[in-house]
A and B are shown apart, each in its own frame.
Chain A
Amino acid sequence: MKKLSKTPLFAAADIFIIALVLALAAVPFFISVKGAGAPLSASVKINGRDAGSYPLDNAGEFKLVGENGIEMTLVVDGDGVFVKDSSCRDKICERTGKITREGQSVICMPGRISIALEGETGGADAVVG
């Protein structure tokens, strides 16, 4: 182990670490743009199994029941979905807020529920223009 007194608060090499993390963070911006503009639907999985798909143009409130007795209300409106009234105490899914773009997701760990926006056609095959 390096001598403690020799470890600086900030070293030049730290810039490399920060740049690497920034580069990793930039990756999704280059791969998640396809299919933009396709009609979206919220695909729900519970414990890894498909548990329904909710097209965004079919607005309404839907009850989801996950593992460990966790229940929540999925609200679908014209341009996105969000979760309200989750019975879990963490409320992480509620704090995620509304998701509106393809690829975004709302996750409930205790209930093993994941909700993600997907293009209804499984992504655009061809975008012209």
Chain B
Amino acid sequence: MSAAKKTALCAMLCAVSAVLSTLESALPLPVFFVPGCRLGLSNLAVITAIPLVGAAGSLSVVAVKSLLILVTRGVTAGIMSISGGLLSLAVMLLLFRLARFGFVGVSVASAAAHNTAQLAAAGLLMGDVRVFSFWWLYLLLSIAAGALTGVAAGVIIPPLGRALGAR
């Protein structure tokens, strides 16, 4: 892929993540009756970015998404978003590099990392470790949500990659 094509694709994925993130916060899922828990649809844009535009490109998708949340939903939400986004990206980059895992596994690990980092950020912001009381529930939900987005990623990414002329 040429550098220009890569940059354009990266910008498109930033836009997709912003749209998915906005869409998701506008439609609270009745299935997940857990405070603050969402499907993590915007992670689809990040997981797509890793194989297609590389580590730096996917980092920019995470940064743009968090910046949007910072501007629209405030500093606290912005800090929560960037903490979750960075740890989950780091985990996904590592797992893709190990090359032993499928999209479902990478996505579940990423969702669990995202939730854990957010709770850690919340604990630091609040000065109170008690935020971890529902950690187990967030972990269980990250299996469900991660599996769903993982299947979506596994269905979408390979044909998208071929269409774009990626390896």
Contact = CB atoms under 8 A, between A and B. Distances in A.
Query: Are A and B genuine complex partners?
Result: yes
Interface of B: 33, 35-36, 50-52, 54, 74, 76-77, 80, 95-97, 99-105, 108-109, 112, 122, 125-128, 130-131, 133-137, 139-140, 142-143, 150-151, 154-155, 157-158, 161-162, 166-167
Nearest to B138: A25
Interface in A1-25: 1-11, 13-18, 21-22, 24-25
Given A11-B105, A112-B125, 12 more contacts: A4-B158, A11-B100, A15-B105, A16-B105, A17-B105, A21-B109, A22-B139, A25-B136, A28-B135, A28-B136, A45-B130, A47-B126
Contacts of B101: 11, 13-14, 17
Nearest to A112: B126
B143 A6 contact: no
B167 A3 contact: yes
A26 interface: yes
Nearest to B140: A25
A48 B122 CA distance: 11
Interface string A45-78: 1011100000000000000000000000000000
Interface of A: 1-11, 13-18, 21-22, 24-29, 45, 47-49, 90, 92-93, 95-96, 103-105, 107, 109-110, 112, 114, 116
Nearest to B28: A95
B105 A13 contact: yes
Contacts of A5: 158, 161-162, 167
Given A9-B154, A21-B143, A116-B133, A92 B35 contact: yes
A4 B99 CA distance: 10
A24 B141 CA distance: 13
B38 to A, nearest CB: 11
A104 to B, nearest CB: 5
Contacts of B105: 10-11, 13-18
Which interface residue of A4, A16, A22, A110 has the most chain B CB atoms within 10 A? A4
Contacts of A90: 36
Contact of B51 (A4, A22, A93): A4
Contacts of B99: 2, 6-7
B141 to A, nearest CB: 9
13 contacts: A1-B96, A4-B158, A8-B154, A9-B103, A10-B102, A10-B150, A10-B154, A17-B108, A92-B35, A105-B131, A107-B126, A109-B122, A116-B133
